[in-house]
Structure 1
Amino acid sequence: MPSIELKLSRFNRIYQPSDLLEGKIVIKSSSSISHYGIVLTLNGSVNLQVRGGSAGVIESFYGVVKPIPIVKKNIEIRTSGKIGPGTAEIPFSINLRQRGEENLERFYETFHGRNISIQYLITVDVMRGYLHKSLSATLEFIVETDKADILQRPISPEMVVFYITQDTQKHPLLPELKTGGFKVTGKVSTQCSLVDSINGELTVEASSVPIQSIDLHLLQVESILLGEKIVTETSLIQTTQIADGDVCRKMTLPIYVILPRLLTCPTVFAG
């Protein structure tokens, strides 16, 4: 049984919209293969997705909200012919965005959300007629903002001061906390580049009960505007433990969180 595989020139599969997408099509077969053409398809779109389990509020709009096309290209790599036995490597190159080319939408950064995904896929099809099943392979690559755009719009880190006391909590507390008091102060960056970490610091000023753990939760906020109604869902995507056990009081603890690339993207507003 012949097999087909797509390999990109960059091992991390990260590209900017102005880059050239280069790679090779690897076909392995024990005998020669006749085909009616090898076609490469480039697809990028913003999609609403339904995951397994109970559907959320956003997912209820799955049949209403149409995908937003970003880019779609078809390139014929080879016309009809034959591929000999063994391993054949066919190189290819595609411009993601050419100057003067009219794109369907601007290139949003790759994002794997709970309800919304921004994906870029490259697919190769080897057409073999009615008697044989076509050979096909699909590979996802990651799109990030052009370096030129980043230089034009430098990101200045913003630090926000926060504090947590027994009075800021909305859930029921132990009587010891209510009477004895509790106070945590700190600061954390709320605006940064995706390639940078979230930094900050935290200090337990006072706690009348022992502390078991201090964790920082990274949340993902997704919204859909449908007519005049905005539906928003927030989901947890990562937890980072800042401290384990009862920490010393008035000691400054560092906050350092690496962002999971595929689950985060710059704040995006799309049609």
Structure 2
Amino acid sequence: MSTKIALKFSRSNRIYRPSEPVEGKIVIKSPSSISHYGIRLSVNGSVNLQVRGGSAGVIETFYGVVKPITIVNKSIEVKPSGKIGSGTTEVPFTMVLKQNGEKSLERFYETFHGTDVSIQYLFTVDIARGYLYKSLSATMEVIVESDKADLLERPVSPEMAIFYITQDTQRHPLLPEIKSGGFRVTGRMSTLCSLLDPISGELTVETSAVPISSIDIHLLRVESILMGEKIVTETSLIQTTQMEMSVVI
């Protein structure tokens, strides 16, 4: 049986804010006692472009050109040189991502896993064992949310965007009966809301030349990068929701 090491955080969901202490334990399981030259814990937060499988998108073509943006990169010594006994050993740790008054390398963006862009905060524990032995390490991601001070004060007054859809607003080919008979859909939707709250709005089918069997709402993710003076944007589908229809006579 080989020595195993793992990170166990105080919160099972591993969600923290930058000003909150990230607490947990380094769990070491070893069949025999081992000597070490110190246990260190580091955190690295960065914004990266990532390569997808399949055909390359517009943003992905800049992979290797746009350098990762470092958000935080710090390390602490959890335990000095010594020995770890056999069996299971738990070493507690505490680390604050951003101290009060401390200048971070960049602003603390929230954790994000997009199609082309990712924002990650990775915690890594390293146990140095000298030249004759391979160092022991383990890495785990924590989810970072914005501090309350950075959030909009609640209640957020929603900004309602009014929209309409007709045969003249569509860019894709339409059936002849729809193009000649026409249709009109109007509505409004909240454009300012928390990700934790539902997106609300209204939609009315005023006229339609053909029967409507269903109405789907697509939630899209928009990712952009700035290259010099040019902004490159790509859109990907996140979620599709089918609406229930009611007929008013």
TM-score, normalised by the number of residues in structure 1: 0.84
Question: Structure 1, residues 165-191: CA drift from partner, whole Å, max 9, x if none?
Answer: 222212111122123332222221111
Distance 1:34 1:240 in 2: 57
Deviations 1:87-122 (A, max 9, x none): 111110011111232211111111111111111111
Q: State the AA in 2 paired with 1:94.
A: M
In 1: Cα distance, 2:69 partner to 2:197 partner: 29
C-alpha distance in 2 between matches for 1:181 and 1:96: 57
2:82 paired with 1:70: no
Please report how far the alpha carbon of residue 152 of structure 1 lies from its aligned counterpart in structure 2 after TM superposition: 5.4
Whether contact under 8 Å (1:204, 1:248) holds in the other structure is no
1:203/1:250 contact within 8 Å kept: no
In the aligned structure 2, how far is the partner of 1:73 from the partner of 1:153?
Answer: 33
Q: Once the two structures are superposed, what CA deviation does each residue of 1:46-103 show, in whole Å capped at 9, x if it has no partner?
A: 1111122212121121222111111111111112221112111111001111123221
Within 2, Cα distance between the matches of 1:204 and 1:153?
33
Over the matched positions of the two proteins, sequence identity in percent amounts to 72
Q: Alpha-carbon deviation of 1:18?
A: 1.0
Partner of 2:137: 136
Kindly provide the amino acid, as one letter, of the partner of residue 54 in structure 1: S
| Mapping of residues 177-256 of structure 1, within 5 Å | 177-243=178-244, 247-250=245-248
Name the counterpart of 2:49. Answer: 48
User: For residues 151 and 232 of structure 2, what CA distance do their matches in structure 1 show?
Assistant: 31
CA contact (8 A) 1:49 1:115 kept: yes
Distance 1:134 1:212 in 2: 62
The residue aligned with 2:13 is: 12
Q: Point out the more displaced range, 13-22 or 126-135.
A: 126-135
- Matched with 1:58 is 59
CA-to-partner distance for each residue in 1:217-265, whole Å, 9 max, x for gaps?
Answer: 111222222222222211212222224xxx44448xxxxxxxxxxxxxx
1:2 aligns with 3
> For the structure 1 residues 151 and 206, does the alpha-carbon distance in structure 2 shift closer, same or farther, using more than 3 Å as the test?
closer
Which residue is equivalent to 2:117? 116
Question: How far apart are 1:212 and its partner, in Å?
Answer: 3.2
If the length of structure 2 is used for normalisation, what is the TM-score?
A: 0.91
Distance 1:215 1:132 in 2: 58
Q: What is the SS of the residue equivalent to 1:198?
A: coil
Structure 1 stretches of 5 or more lacking a match?
Answer: 252-271
Count of aligned pairs: 248
* Counterpart residue type for residue 98 of structure 2: R
Distance in structure 1 (CA, Å) of the matches to 2:11 and 2:234: 35
1:2 and 1:250 mapped to 2: Cα distance?
69
- The answer to whether the Cα contact below 8 Å between 1:204 and 1:249 also exists between their aligned partners in 2 is no
For residues 4 and 178 of structure 2, the distance between their equivalents in structure 1, rounded to whole angstroms, comes to: 64
SS in 2 for 1:59: helix
Partner residue, 1:125: 126
**Pair 1:162–1:78, CA change in 2 (3 A):** same
- Indicate if the aligned counterparts of 1:4 and 1:27 stay in contact, CA closer than 8 A: yes
Structure 1 residue matching 2:179: 3-state secondary structure: helix
Distance 1:133 1:74 in 2: 20
**Residue aligning to 2:94:** 93
Structure 2 unaligned regions, length at least 5: none
